[in-house]
Structure 1
Amino acid sequence: MFHRHPSFSILLSAVLLSHLHSTQAADFCVADLTSRMTTTGYTCKNPTNVTADDFVFTTLVRGGNTTNINKAVAVPGFVQQFPGLNGLGLAVARADIEPGGAIPLHTHPAASEMIYVAEGSVTAGFISGAPSNVVYVKKLNKGEVMVFPRGLFHFQANTGEEHATVIASFSNSDPGVQVVSSALFGNDFSSFLVEKTTNIDEAEVKKLKALLGGSG
């Protein structure tokens, strides 16, 4: 009859524990948000410190504050807010838009986006790249879906008479975002240069800067 030596049991336990940790590491890489973001994502959180909460995001249950110039708000669930997304190529967001409001023209440089209308209706669209610059616009009702290809300018506007809620998914855990109006008029980009590079009258540029918090 074979008798196991005590040291064999210790060795077996160590091997199994090591295998468990390596399997977890291969299965997922929950973001350690205290680490520095790189082009490949965040450093992995120690698997022994990972909990089910790292894979759950509850912030989208409630909409944000739409009392602003756009009458709309977007609440992101990117890797910075949802660490379990790290390395998975996924992200989520919720947009709430009041009648007459809009999510302004913007782009996600690192991801394609798909939206699902959960409440109300929206008019949504995107602009294809140069030189064609074709505009694709569609009114979407509750339950309908639209996709925006990576990097293209797109928007959602509430042209209906009731509150609209849109749920968005992305093909990158850190899609990035740049809003056209903020990029042009919400910073210290010289009004003179904005005029020269957009052909918008400098007086109008300064008016828009005052409206959006820019200067210069």
Structure 2
Amino acid sequence: MMRVYFVTIALFALALSLASASDPDPVQDFCVALDDPKSAVFVNGKFCKDPKLAKAEDFFFKGLDIPGNTDNRVGSNVTTVNVDQIPGLNTLGISVVRIDYAPYGQNPPHTHPRATEILVVLEGTLYVGFVTSNPENRFFSKVLNKGDVFVFPIGLIHFQFNVGKTNAVALAGLSSQNPGVITIADAVFGSNPPINPDVLAKAFQLDQKVVENLQKVFKKNGN
């Protein structure tokens, strides 16, 4: 009997840990986010607008058809539509992005700590991939054409690279109202304040001067 009790407790704890790995389920139809708590009536993870005062604009975003500016060092632009752009996404556990790529532009290796991503190519040809966690570090990759779909599991490092001579466009859905993004090179070499170069030199097996130069480059680029 005691063994059954402990197994039940263990399963319950596992269920709780899995549930906490994604955005919480809503407990009402919607919870339009508010920045001003004085105007809030209901609370469901964030301060929420009184549902009676909600309007269609709270669930609307205009402009995802507009190409992003890819004139930058990586040759890509991500137009984000999350809870900051659509307050009505609050507690709904979903968001979307448009990604524009210049010829040979890339969305460099990065992770979304709070979301799985499903990407569909609208135009162009993309080389995409992700790497599993330690110790396997298994690499999955694919060349995608218009209409192809690829999934990047939550938290894993992934990228997209435009291998064509023309612009490329993709849409991606993410399983969080605010997925977050950590671009690996920016985080490692462009942190503020910077990570001690000795640490990075040993971690990446690089000469310290190379690390210091990389830190200067990423700091110069606004990180």
TM range (shorter): 0.7 to 0.9
Cα distance in 2 between the residues matched to 1:64 and 1:211: 24
Are 1:31 and 2:23 an aligned pair?
no
TM-score scaled by structure 1?
0.81
Corresponding letter in the other structure for 2:120? Y
Q: In the alignment, what sits opposite 1:73?
A: 77
Structure 1 residues 34 and 206, CA gap change in structure 2 (3 angstroms) = farther
Work out the CA distance in 2 between the residues paired with 1:198 and 1:136: 22
- Partner residue, 2:3: none
> Over aligned residues, Cα RMSD in angstroms?
1.8
Between the aligned partners of 2:113 and 2:136, the Cα distance in structure 1 is 19
Equivalent in 132, 137, 147 of residue 133 of structure 1: 137
Q: Secondary structure at the match of 2:170?
A: strand
Greater C-alpha radius of gyration: 1
1:119 maps to a residue whose letter is E
Tell me, what secondary structure is at the counterpart of 2:28?
A: helix
- Residue of structure 1 equivalent to 2:180: 176
Shift of the alpha carbon at 1:170?
0.6
Determine helix, strand or coil for the equivalent of 1:26: coil
Q: Please tell me whether the aligned partners of residues 33 and 80 of structure 1 are also in contact (alpha carbons under 8 angstroms).
A: no
Determine the C-alpha separation between the residues in 1 that align with 2:118 and 2:169: 14
Give the residue type in structure 1 aligned to 2:69. Answer: N
Letter paired with 2:184: V
Distance 1:178 1:123 in 2: 20
**Pairing partner for 1:202 from 198, 208, 219:** 208
Q: Structure 1: 5+ residue runs without aligned partners?
A: 1-24
The TM-score with structure 2 as length reference comes to 0.79
Superposed displacement of residue 110, structure 1: 0.8
**Aligned to 1:27, what secondary structure does the other structure show?**
coil
Q: Which stretch of structure 1 is more off in the superposition, 151-160 or 48-57?
A: 48-57
- Find runs of 4+ consecutive structure 1 residues off by over 6 angstroms: none
Percent of matched pairs sharing the same residue: 40
Is residue 163 of structure 2 the alignment partner of residue 159 of structure 1? yes
How far the C-alpha of 1:205 sits from its partner, in A, is: 1.3
Q: For structure 1, which segment, 57-66 or 84-93, has the greater mean C-alpha deviation from structure 2 after superposition?
A: 57-66
The Cα of 1:197 is off from its aligned counterpart by 2.7
SS of the residue 2:72 aligns to = coil
* Alignment pair present for 1:95 and 2:99: yes
Distance 1:137 1:107 in 2: 16
Amino acid at match of 1:93: V
Task: Give the Å deviation of 1:85.
Answer: 0.8
Give the Å deviation of 1:171.
0.8
Which residue is 1:47 aligned to? Answer: 51
Unaligned runs of 5+ in 2: 1-26, 38-43
Q: 2:165 is aligned with what amino acid? A: E
SS of 1:184's equivalent?
A: helix
- Aligned 1:9-28 pairs, distance under 5 A: 26-28=28-30
| Alignment-derived partner of residue 7 in structure 2 | none
What is the CA-CA distance between 1:41 and the residue it aligns to?
3.8
